Amino acid sequence: MHISNGIINGPVSLVYAALAVILLAVCLQRSRQDLSDRLAPMAGLVAAFIFAAQMLNFPVLSGVSGHLLGGALAATLVGPWVGALCVAVVLIVQSLVFADGGVLALGLNISNMALLGTAVGYLVVIGLMKLLPRTAFGVGAAVFIASVVSVLLASQGFVLQYMLGGSVPLTLSYGEIAGVLAGVHVLIGIGEGLIAALAVIAVAKVRPDLVYALRGQRLETEVRRSPKPVIIAGLLTALVLAGGISYFASGSPDGLDHTAQIGCEEDGSGTCMASGEKDHELAGSILGDYSWNGIDGTTGVAGAIGVVVTFAVGLAIFWVVRRRRVRA
């Protein structure tokens, strides 16, 4: 779902960038109400885990892969405001450090994955938790369904963006683009839902007080317990995923990249969304394309560095917001 430069024209990209800045500022302001000594490091962990999980592309169709977006997972664990910031931190690190998703396209990607995906995921989870038991498996079922819905709607957010400012006229209709993206991303959403459900259940089984969607469940007996064991275990898991399991990730294009290539032939003829793609502003950077200076077999090294950087950046931001809340 990472949009590259050139897919959407400059004016629309800038409008979405401005929209993303405004809405992230609102999230920063509202997150001050939620951030506590326990939630700040948990939010850093959520960002690091999403970064690691996004490196694990899994096959969904022949020649097509998908990866976790993380909006529903983040909203379930740390709430909608902090959750949106977690996903935004991941996208910013990916773009500026790993040349994944254009810098000019950052506003587009943040709008789809961090803002729309998280908001939809949270609304679905909260709605379902009124019907499902407030247990680990209940919240796991809720985040599974929310993941499918949020990934599907995030993909349709891209369709709207292309309608407003697609750089290449297509022979495909917007309805056909929406249908292809929807079909692929429902499958991706199922994969994401399984990952999110397992992660949330694992935390809820051990520390239900650290799951935002279960707020109010056994908090009186849990409130004084340190979150450090969960943070350490989660970071180690993220390092294993990004530093080791990532070597086994699918190399096929993801759902958006696959759709963007429809209409173009291998000889370069035809018209497709990908024909408008431009090089990343930071292409060739030392960690570009998730490798160390372009050296083969260093994906795990780059991934481990990414986990540490994402956790550090996220934790720094959330601690600053937390300190401002304490002073206020």
117-147 pLDDT, tens per residue? 999 999 999 999 999 999 999 999 999 999 9
Task: Say if residue 309's pLDDT is above 90.
Answer: yes
The model carries a pTM of 0.94
Contact (CB, 8 A) for 107 and 19: yes
**75: helix, strand or coil:** helix
pLDDT tens readout for residues 106-118: 999 999 999 999 9
Give the pLDDT confidence score for residue 221 in this predicted structure.
43
Domains of the chain: 10-327 (1.10.1760.20)
For residues 76-88, average pLDDT = 96
Q: For 147-170, what is the mean pLDDT?
A: 95
For residue 224, what pLDDT is reported?
Answer: 59
The pLDDT of residue 323 is 75
pLDDT for 12-57, tens place per residue?
Answer: 999 999 999 999 999 999 998 877 777 889 999 999 999 999 999 9
Q: What is the pLDDT of residue 36?
A: 76
The share of the chain scoring above pLDDT 70, in percent, equals 95
Mean pLDDT estimate for the chain: 92
pLDDT tens-digit series, residues 249-298: 999 999 999 999 998 887 667 789 998 899 998 888 999 999 999 899 99
Coil, strand, or helix at residue 210?
Answer: helix
**101: three-class secondary structure by DSSP:** coil
Both structure tokens of 95: 């773009």
Q: What is the pLDDT of residue 129?
A: 95
Please determine, for residue 215, whether its predicted confidence score (pLDDT) is greater than 80.
no
Mean pLDDT over 303-317 rounds to 96
290 Cβ contact list (under 8 Å, min separation 6): 55, 98, 100, 246, 299, 302, 303, 306
Q: What is the mean pLDDT of residues 1-17?
A: 95
* pLDDT on residue 268: 64
**Where is 60: in which H helix or E strand?**
strand 58-61
> 129 and 144 in contact (C-beta within 8 Å)?
no
The enclosing H or E element of 163 equals helix 136-165
Is the pLDDT at 308 greater than 60, yes or no?
A: yes
The answer to whether residue 326 scores a pLDDT higher than 70 is no
Q: Is the pLDDT of residue 315 over 50?
A: yes
Q: Using 50, 70 and 90 to split pLDDT, how confident is the model at 90?
A: very high
Which tokens belong to 28?
Answer: 């920063």
Contact status, residue 155 vs residue 255, Cβ threshold 8 Å: yes
* pLDDT score recorded for residue 222: 46
Among 4-18, 29-43, 170-184, the minimum mean pLDDT is found in 29-43
| Long-range contacts from 260-267, C-beta under 8 angstroms, 24+ separation | 260/7, 262/172, 262/180, 263/170, 263/171, 263/172
